[in-house]
Homo-oligomer: A and B are copies of this chain.
Amino acid sequence: MTLDSISRRRLLGTAGAAGAAGLVAGGASAVAADRATRDDAGTTALTSIGASAVDFGGRARAHGTPQAGILDPHQVHGHLVAFDLAPRADRKAAAALLRRWTQAARALVEGRPADREDTGSALDAGPASLTVTMGFGRTFFGKVGLTKQLPQALAPLPDFSSDVLDKARSDGDLWLQIGANDGLVAFNALRVLQRVAGDTARVRWQMTGFNRTPGATDKPRTTRNLMGQIDGTNNPKPEEDDFDARVFVPKGGDASSPAWMAGGSYAVVRRIRMLLDTWDHLSLEQQERVIGRRKSDGAPLSGGTETTPVDLEKFTKDGSIAIRGDAHVRVAAPESNQGAAMLRRPYSYHDGFRDDGQPDAGLLFIAWQADPMRGFVPVQRKLDRGDGLSRFLRHEASGLFAVPAAAKPDEYVGQPLLEG
């Protein structure tokens, strides 16, 4: 099937600054909005939501150029999908798959059809900030004869007492994170990338999530989760001095990572169901004590506003500690974990109701770090033992993926691994 992409290109050409000045505007500048106009026919011009494009080639940082989808603003729609290699797929077949995925993703993130068989559900829309991020699971390396390149950082995550993991929805040889501000663009990318996998790899699991729509709130940096709590306030900030060391593998690699992972990051993926009915039975004050922050504005119970640093030593007037010993912000704080921190960039999910009448809903937790042993693992160990919030959470699936740096022009994602 062939697709006429003229109307789509025309749209991009009339999209104002974000479209005309350069299709791939990249990052925050692409979010600067064009004025939406409505003519007599009731049509609305493509606004920044549709016209914004994220550069698949990434943006350079101190350690290299990470893939898109890690530092970019979270999108409205997200798909996480893990693949397992077919039994006969070897290193050459895997390399060809990554080459095909890279080629398709390059077209899709620019708002072009991926190939002649692109199903067309993304037609009429701009790129809508589509990102496609690719990673490798631990099981990939043995299957393609690359165990020498297996990062120590991909050691299996330890068991945690609050885990009730579904193995069928955990792990996987390969992992894609797809995000876009339009649902049809995101779905089309998922379909295309699955089709392009051909006989080389098949879907192991797939999950769909959502985030706040741009423009629905004036707080784009943080979002609320389904418990109603502001999420992400304490995230490391890209402008902080130690940000790159925390999130990205240094040039040349390190003790946990071979050189092919330089500039890359590790994604810890957890499907965390929230026991929302139980949670909602708590009073507002009880909920706030469990978290350690005010629900209305996210300010820590130690005082100030959302962005005020948490004061773990603060006592209230009545002599009690402001932030309880088992409050989530205390147990998760870098100060409580020898500085361990990770960049969280989650989606919420809601897959209807379970047989027990409870909502099957919660957080597709995605955390980025240079080494899970200095990020997710120590923090989760601590949370697992002492976090008052864990009573309301169930970790139902888990994955850990090595996400290399962005592909250089004319290369494909993972080429330094597969042809190194």
Contacts and interface: CB of A to CB of B under 8 A. Distances in A.
Among A46, A117, A124, A213, the most chain B Cβ lie within 10 Å of the Cβ of: A213
Contact of A217 (B3, B46, B213, B359): B46
Give the interface SS of chain A, mostly helix, strand, loop or mixed: loop
In which size bucket is the chain A interface?
Answer: 35 or more
A11 B217 contact: yes
Nearest to A49: B215
Interface string A176-201: 00000111110110010001000000
Contact of A220 (B44, B119, B203, B208): B44
Interface in A29-85: 31-33, 35-38, 42-50, 76-77
A306 to B, nearest CB: 10
A313 interface: no
A214 interface: yes
Contacts of A182: 212-213, 216-217
A222 to B, nearest CB: 9
A46 B278 CA distance: 32
A259 interface: no
A216 B49 contact: yes
Nearest to A361: B187
A348 interface: yes
Contact of A213 (B183, B195, B208, B348): B183
Interface in A272-321: 276, 279-280, 282-285, 287, 294-297
A125 interface: yes
Interface in A195-244: 195, 202-203, 206-208, 210-221, 223-230
12 contacts: A1-B282, A4-B296, A7-B297, A33-B38, A42-B220, A43-B219, A117-B280, A120-B295, A128-B213, A183-B210, A188-B228, A203-B353
